[in-house]
């Protein structure tokens, strides 16, 4: 009897987990019109279900990206590295910029962990490999693929917020440096404007040597600019809609 009870409870929790993930996915998806969320869910699942969660290549998400295409928003696209909270604190309140998390796929999967298992058709949210446990893990491959698609449609003036409180604001291992910047092409992107977020104890700024690597990676023809902006100014601009987007920094 005890074993049966344990089995039932375990079975229920696992099922609940699965349906909870699926309902989070669908309810977040349904906030966006123009998408067939059931179809998007199907395309999403096929990327990792019934697979070893360390053997999900970036390309496994190609059909998902095809099912939920990104629309280019010229001059409004915002990229970031190690500044997620500042960026989203700002974009939540103001309409100036669009981040990947404002698009269907980014917003649906932001903050979530998911993976499959060989021999199972379920989605698991526990026991999934961490970001750097193995290279081709379910979650990391998704963010690489989605970031690549988002960067592919970048156009006009592009903005990126980098962190002035770390040693290497432009870190070659970040998704921003390794996936996004190399995909900006001069025929679409005019200028890359880096906003260096400066806190009280900042250790780097726009003169940081890592930005040299950034300008060297940039496609010839894309101009580069960088501005040191205090975190409090970014917050102020987020809180005051009367400040025009272009006057924030």
Helical ranges in 30-93 per DSSP H: 37-45, 62-67, 84-93
Q: CA-CA distances (angstroms) from residue 10 to 5, 21, 23, 51?
A: 8, 17, 20, 22
Footprint (CB under 6 A) of ligand N1C, residues 137-176: 139, 143, 147, 150, 174-176
Length of the chain as a residue count: 249
Tokens 């961490």 belong to which residue?
A: 130
Residue of 18, 28, 55, 84 that binds ligand N1C (CB under 6 A): 84
CB of 185 to ligand N1C, least distance (A): 17
Q: CA-CA distances (angstroms) from residue 11 to 4, 15, 221?
A: 10, 6, 58
d(CA 236, CA 216): 33
d(CA 224, CA 19): 46
Query: Which residues, in sequence order, are bridge partners of residue 195?
Result: 161, 227
Footprint (CB under 6 A) of ligand N1C, residues 4-63: none
106 binds ligand N1C (CB under 6 A): yes
d(CA 189, CA 152): 10
CB closer to ligand N1C, 36 vs 85: 85
Active site residues per annotation: 74, 155
**Residues 111-140 vs ligand N1C: string with x where CB under 6 A?**
--------------------x-------x-
Footprint (CB under 6 A) of ligand N1C, residues 174-193: 174-176, 180
Stretch that binds ligand N1C, among 16-24, 64-72, 74-82, 119-127 (CB under 6 A): 74-82
CB of 3 to ligand N1C, least distance (A): 38
Q: How is the beta sheet containing 223-230 ordered, strand by strand? A: 78-81, 156-163, 189-198, 223-230
102 binds ligand N1C (CB under 6 A): no
CB of 163 to ligand N1C, least distance (A): 8
What does the binding site for ligand N1C look like in residue numbers (CB under 6 A)?
Answer: 79-82, 84, 100-101, 106, 110, 131, 139, 143, 147, 150, 174-176, 180
């Amino acid at each position: 009897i005890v074993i049966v009870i344990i089995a039932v409870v375990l079975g229920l929790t696992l099922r609940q987990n699965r349906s909870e993930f699926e309902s989070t996915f669908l309810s977040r998806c349904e906030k966006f019109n123009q998408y067939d969320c059931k179809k998007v869910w199907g395309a999403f699942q096929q990327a990792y279900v019934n697979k070893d969660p360390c053997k999900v290549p970036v390309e496994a998400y190609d059909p998902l990206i095809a099912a939920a295409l990104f629309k280019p928003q010229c001059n409004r696209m915002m990229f970031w590295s190690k500044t997620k909270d500042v960026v989203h604190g700002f974009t939540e309140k103001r309409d100036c910029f669009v981040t990947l998390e404002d698009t269907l796929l980014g917003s649906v999967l932001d903050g979530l962990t998911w993976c499959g298992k060989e021999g199972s058709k379920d989605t698991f949210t526990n026991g999934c490999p961490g970001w750097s446990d193995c290279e081709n893990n379910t979650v990391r491959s998704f963010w690489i693929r989605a970031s690549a698609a988002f960067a592919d449609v970048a156009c006009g003036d592009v903005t990126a917020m980098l962190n002035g409180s770390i040693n290497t604001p432009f870190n070659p291992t970040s998704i921003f440096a390794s996936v996004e910047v190399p995909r900006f092409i001069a025929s679409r992107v005019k200028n890359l404007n880096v906003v260096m977020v400066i806190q009280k104890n900042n250790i780097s700024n726009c003169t940081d040597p890592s930005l040299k690597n950034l300008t060297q990676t940039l496609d010839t023809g894309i101009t580069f600019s960088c501005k040191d902006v205090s975190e409090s100014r970014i917050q102020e601009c987020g809180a005051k809609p009367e400040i025009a987007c272009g006057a924030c920094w």
